Amino acid sequence: MSNFFSLEIGKRSVLMHQTALSITGHNIANANTPGYTRQVADIVTTPPWHAPSLVQSGKPGQLGTGVEIAAVNRVRDEFIDTQIRHENKAEGYWAAMQNTLAKIEVILNEPTEDGLRGVMDMFWESWQDLSLHPESEAVRAVVVQRGMSLAEAFNHTHRQLVELREDVNAQVKVKVNEVNSIAMQIADLNKQILAVTISGKRPNDLLDKRDLLIDDLSRIADVKVFTDKNNMVTLQLGDRVLVEGKDYNRLGVNTDQEMYMVIWEDTQTRAKISSGELRGLLDARGRSSNPQEANPSEYKEIIPNMIADLNSLAKTIITKTNDIHRSGYSLNNNDNSNYLYPDGRNFFNQPVDINDSVDWAKFMSLNDEIINDLKNIAVAARPTWGKDPLGNLIKANFGDGGVALDIAQLKHYLNDSEWRIDSSPITDLAVTSFSFDIDGVTIIVDNTVTPPDPAPIQNMYDLAVALQEQIDGTALKGKIMVRSNGNQLTFYSNSNSFTLDTGTAVQISGKINQVTTDDYWRSVCADIGVLSQESQRVLKNQEVLLNELENKRQSISGVSLDEEMTNMIRFQHAYNAAARFITSIDEAMEVVINRMGLVGR
């Protein structure tokens, strides 16, 4: 056995431990690098000398030839990676939702005196004051100012919600660009990884970069990851491939609509986004007007529904205030042509086309005739008239302020209460007859219907007396609007009677539901608050879960400086020992070469 054989073993040991020290140094250098995976050397013995053979001389055993590093491996758990990416998309979704909901809560600013409900309360209070002092110009001025403040509050809230929706829409485009950027980088890394892999090497750092990009992408959108034998990944987004090898498909947004729709650039078809930040933004923003978007929307429509609720409240306040105000008498009602009739006009400007598509909150404003002349505020429900010495009719007083009181009571307005009373059929025809007073005017309704047809009763409000209805023979169903002032409604059927207090919801073969403007807005704000609270809870749970998974991944893949220092000392001692071994062999060879054959000289 040649001494050079031993030198080769020593050399291999030195080189191996030197490489191991380099790997340790690489780990220490990247201890704080995001996405870096700890690398370890796969240390194996080199093939022994010589392999057993029938044509070779027998030896007592194989001779070891040293050591080498077979591969440099990443310490990575793919199952944990899959779990993290799965939870990433949920965390991204709820983070986007919570961010939007938090902004909506700031816009609504409820419950505070500066919120919309506080402004509404002051508006109703001003009408209450005006009902007590209908002749006061100062109180009328307060009503106008409170009305203008209410209109501006609705305008401002609507404007902020629209701007928030536009901001979220802009974020959709930003996230689409991020997806394209990440997809392009992953495709480029796939190309580099393939070149290294087919050469028989391990592209560890390139794999780390790609895995980090996939983690980032999984937070934005729901992607499925498939890896082949050459370490190439294929990413699937929805029902299409986003990245395949060195190629990728780009996402885009259509720019011909006000709200962006996420599409595939090559086919111009809608991209299916079911989770992640991008889906959270789409749920908050709502659908676009593109026909490819599902109708009814598959999104949660957070901001559009909020705007619709705001418009619904504004519409109710505008139309009901105007309806009552037009029935009143103003201080200018002294023209001989109309002094016997109500001369009230719209208090708020009202569109001609009354439908749900109108942005009532956006365009809410006071009638210029009211702003320019406070006398045009129609406060009186029924002025008292007299005659002058010449026998002409004159207004004796300003009235009882009943219209102002009615408007003030809109705060307790009951919207579309539903009632139903069942009775056993007695005759072939059922006669429905009843009467009631509204503002001193007696209304008589007399309907004859054939069972089981319903007797149509139109919506009413502000009942001055109890409503009595005698029904013989059929079940009648209709809608009735009344004030939530605690008055009782008494329904009679033959000899039996049922007394209902409208201050609470009561059911007699049906229901009476009350929704006041105050209750309605409180309910809208409460719904947003509950959804925001729920998103905070889910987001917090997701963050805890992700932190737990990340800690588990770091315990496996992360760099421990203490462990690396231990390895460094271990490899350093082994390196020194290998170097010492080479020195020993060198000294032995020096004896053989320089000292042998000198005996007797």
For the chain, report the end-to-end CA distance as a whole number of angstroms. Answer: 29
Is the pLDDT at 443 greater than 80? The verdict is no
pLDDT for residue 501:
42
**pLDDT digits over 96-143, tens only?**
999 999 999 999 988 887 888 899 999 999 989 988 888 888 999 999
pLDDT for residue 376:
85
Among all chains, which residue has been given the structure tokens 């009350």?
514
Q: b or e along 581-599 (b: 16 or more beta carbons within 10 Å of the residue's beta carbon)? A: bbeebeeeeeeeeeeeeee
Whether 481 and 415 have beta carbons less than 8 Å apart is answered as yes
| Burial of 27 per CB tally in 10 Å (0-12, 13-18, 19+) | buried
Instruction: Please give the DSSP secondary-structure letter assigned to residue 486.
Output: S
Tokens of 498: 């049922």
Is the pLDDT at 374 greater than 70? The verdict is yes
How far CA 75 is from CA of 36, 445, 564, in Å, comes to: 10, 85, 14
pLDDT for residue 595:
75
pLDDT for residue 386:
58
Express as a percent the part of the chain with pLDDT over 70. 74
One-character DSSP codes across 304-373: HHHHHHHHHHHHHHHHHHHHHHHTSB-TT---TTTTTS-----SB---SS-STTS-HHHH--B-HHHHH-
pLDDT for residue 257:
75
Cβ neighbour number for residue 497 with a 10 Å cutoff: 10
Report CA torsion sign: 499, 502, 504, 508.
positive
**pLDDT digits over 527-558, tens only?**
999 999 999 999 999 999 999 999 999 999 99
Whether 83 and 215 have beta carbons less than 8 Å apart is answered as no
Q: What is the mean pLDDT of the chain?
A: 79
Rounded CA-CA distance 528/537 in Å is 14
Express as a percent the part of the chain with pLDDT over 90. 50
Is the pLDDT at 14 greater than 90? The verdict is yes
pLDDT for residue 397:
54
Cβ neighbour number for residue 405 with a 10 Å cutoff: 19
Find the range with the poorest average confidence among 115-124, 214-223, 273-282, 463-472.
463-472
How far CA 15 is from CA of 5, 24, 317, 575, 581, in Å, comes to: 16, 14, 86, 8, 13
pLDDT for residue 58:
55
Q: Higher-confidence residue: 416 or 237?
A: 237
Is the pLDDT at 436 greater than 90? The verdict is no
The distance from CA 276 to its chain's CA centroid, rounded to whole angstroms, is 11
pTM score, whole prediction? 0.75
Report CA torsion sign: 84, 86, 89, 93.
negative
Of the candidates 485, 516, 522, the residue with the CA atom closest to the CA atom of residue 411? 516
Q: What are the phi and psi torsion angles at 339 (to 5°)?
A: -70, -15
Is the pLDDT at 596 greater than 80? The verdict is no
Q: Higher-confidence residue: 484 or 193?
A: 193
Mean of the pLDDT values across residues 45-73? 77
Find the range with the poorest average confidence among 30-39, 47-56, 192-201, 431-440.
431-440
Rounded CA-CA distance 331/378 in Å is 7
Partner residues linked to 444 by β-bridges = 435
Task: With both helix axes pointing from N to C terminus, report the angle between 78-108 and 137-197 in degrees, rounded to the nearest 10.
Answer: 160
Cβ neighbour number for residue 494 with a 10 Å cutoff: 12
Find the range with the poorest average confidence among 5-9, 168-172, 181-185.
5-9
Q: How many CA atoms lie within 13 A of 387 on its CB side?
A: 4
Find the range with the poorest average confidence among 172-186, 192-206, 397-411.
397-411
pLDDT for residue 258:
82
In the chain, domain spans: 3-75+558-594, 415-515
Rounded CA-CA distance 84/86 in Å is 5
Tokens of 86: 């799965």
Is the pLDDT at 505 greater than 90? The verdict is no
